[in-house]
């Protein structure tokens, strides 16, 4: 038994767009979840939202965790995530000011 359905082109295109969007989300979600990902300078700068120069400066100051592959700097996502957590600034409650007369 064979079933054939004919749909207008705009509906087919709409279905294709929705499917593409959903599949892209699944693929991107898988990439984001991998803690064993390894970044180069470009990848790290995009992940942190900083410039490449900031990454080079952080490496030269040894303020960000990295390792070498030959002459190339590489960064483990899991180590970077731990480093980010350690960078948090503690919240200090505001001081009350007293009026002195």
Where in the chain are the domains?
9-86
What is the reported pLDDT for 33?
Answer: 52
What is the reported pLDDT for 76?
Answer: 96
Which runs of consecutive H residues, i.e. helices, occur in 1-101?
9-33, 41-48, 52-60, 77-86
What is the reported pLDDT for 20?
Answer: 74
pTM for this prediction: 0.57
For the chain of 101 residues, list the mean pLDDT of each consecutive stretch of 10. 73 72 65 78 97 97 96 96 90 75 70
What is the reported pLDDT for 35?
Answer: 74
What is the reported pLDDT for 30?
Answer: 55
What is the reported pLDDT for 53?
Answer: 97
């Amino acid at each position: 038994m064979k079933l054939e359905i004919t749909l207008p082109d705009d509906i087919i295109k709409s279905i294709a767009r929705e499917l593409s969007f959903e599949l892209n989300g699944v693929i991107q979600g898988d990439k984001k979840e991998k803690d064993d990902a390894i970044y180069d300078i470009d990848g790290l700068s995009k992940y942190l939202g900083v410039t490449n120069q900031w990454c080079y400066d952080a490496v030269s100051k040894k303020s960000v965790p990295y390792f070498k592959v030959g002459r190339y700097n590489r960064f483990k996502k899991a180590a970077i995530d731990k480093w980010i957590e350690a960078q948090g600034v503690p919240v200090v409650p505001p001081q009350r000011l007293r009026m002195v007369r």
